[in-house]
Amino acid sequence: MIWRMLYFSDLQQLSVHEQMLVFAGAYLDSAEVLCNNLYSDKERANYAHGAVVMSLAFHSLELFFKGCILRSFPAEQFNGKAGHDLDALSKRFFRLYPKKEFQFEVPFRYETSGIIEKMAPTNELAELLAYIEEHRRKAPEDKRHRYPISGNGKAWEGAFGFEPNSFLVTLRELQQVYACIRSLLYEG
């Protein structure tokens, strides 16, 4: 067997924002490989592996947004829960890069579309939005895919599932988004 050492020092020669983008790509590549395996090997596929795919993809997006933000603001700090909040990170990204070419559908984002607002009376809508927020607090997306139980040792509340074929499409779309945005970041 031939050993081939991969060195972190090679990555450290890059700027911090570029390191984030390289890691984002690596997490996304890993999610795609595992997701493809789940799609191909139906006998070994299970929710735990699907949760890992989602965790890898989630973390990839987090690092991608941070890398892009750091490209424009190298001193930006990502402290506390906000540093793992895709809603907050994506909003910051879209404010920094408002051009149409930078816009894309972000997986894992919680948005209440105008459809919900039109369907529910105001009092029911308020209850629904409060329920959604309470669920997000009890089962945070970034933790739910990493752990089989919550921090207090209880099962996550809700019904969760994973479908490899459709998520593979999402991952491949993200690959294209990353490539497009990276080229836009460096073209000027």
* Predicted confidence pLDDT, tens digits, the chain (188 residues): 999 999 999 999 999 999 999 999 999 999 999 999 999 998 989 999 999 999 999 999 999 999 999 999 999 999 877 788 898 999 999 999 999 999 999 998 766 555 556 666 677 777 777 777 776 777 777 778 888 888 888 888 878 899 999 999 999 999 999 999 999 998 85
Q: State how far the Cα of 107 lies from the Cα of 86, in Å rounded to an integer.
A: 9
Model confidence, pTM: 0.86
Angle at 78 between CA 77 and CA 83, to 5 degrees: 170
69: amino acid identity, one letter: I
Question: Would you tell me the crossing angle of helices 47-72 and 16-40 to the nearest 10 degrees?
Answer: 160
User: Looking up tokens 């000027």, which residue turns up?
Assistant: 188
| Among 142, 166, 164, 168, CA closest to 47 | 164
Name the DSSP letter for residue 120.
Answer: S
